[in-house]
Amino acid sequence: MKLRIVASIALGAALTLGATGCSMIAPQATTIDYSASDGVNIPPSGPLDIRNAMVIADESGTAGNFLAAIVNDTDEPQTLVFGFGDDTTTLRVPARERISLGVDGEEPILLEDIDTLPGATLPMSFQSGDGEGVRTEVPVLDGMLPYYTEFVPRVD
């Protein structure tokens, strides 16, 4: 009888530990920093934050429109220099402002000769303020999703 009680307690403890113990060794998903969108957040490399960056390309992957939200939380205007390969673009962001390329009346920035098909990533560099700059992979999407159709470049 005592053996049965001890076995029952041991089995109950093993089941309880098995049912709850996975959180002891598995990382919690809510503690992992990630971009919960189609674009990527660029790691900080200066005073500007670059959020939800993506390129919407034509089906041949020769040209794409760069979309992103660029946020300046400083009290001074800031300059962002970004691009791929040897092609760079300079963008001035006023103090305490956000520029959303592709929305709110802001035109996306056309990147030509990207030679990157939708579904791949485009290596781009970003530098603002006195930061050293950062190089990261930006996703290249197409107009398959209805809300991106208007951003597919019409290059003749």
Q: Which residue has the tokens 């969108």?
A: 37
Instruction: Tell me, yes or no, whether 141 lies in a domain.
Output: yes
**What is the amino acid identity at position 37?**
S
For residue 130, what pLDDT is reported?
Answer: 87
Mean pLDDT, residues 91-95 taken together: 97
**What is the amino acid identity at position 132?**
E
- For residues 156 and 136, the model is more confident at 136
Looking at the fold, whether 56 and 97 belong to one and the same domain comes out as yes
pLDDT above 90 covers what percent of the chain? Answer: 66
Domain extent for 20? 2-29
Looking at the fold, whether 6 and 72 belong to one and the same domain comes out as no
pLDDT exceeds cutoff 70 at 135: yes
| H-state helical runs in 44-133 | none
Q: How far from each other are the two terminal CA atoms of the chain, in whole angstroms? A: 87
For residue 35, what pLDDT is reported?
Answer: 67
Looking at the fold, whether 69 and 111 belong to one and the same domain comes out as yes
Looking at the fold, whether 77 and 129 belong to one and the same domain comes out as yes
pLDDT exceeds cutoff 90 at 72: yes
Query: What is the C-alpha to C-alpha distance for residues 33 and 44, in angstroms, rounded to an integer?
Result: 14
pLDDT exceeds cutoff 90 at 156: no
In the chain, the number of structural domains is 2
**Predicted confidence band of residue 105 (pLDDT cuts 50, 70, 90):** confident
Query: What is the C-alpha to C-alpha distance for residues 99 and 13, in angstroms, rounded to an integer?
Result: 56
**Predicted confidence band of residue 30 (pLDDT cuts 50, 70, 90):** confident
Instruction: Tell me, yes or no, whether 71 lies in a domain.
Output: yes
pLDDT exceeds cutoff 90 at 71: yes
pLDDT exceeds cutoff 90 at 125: yes
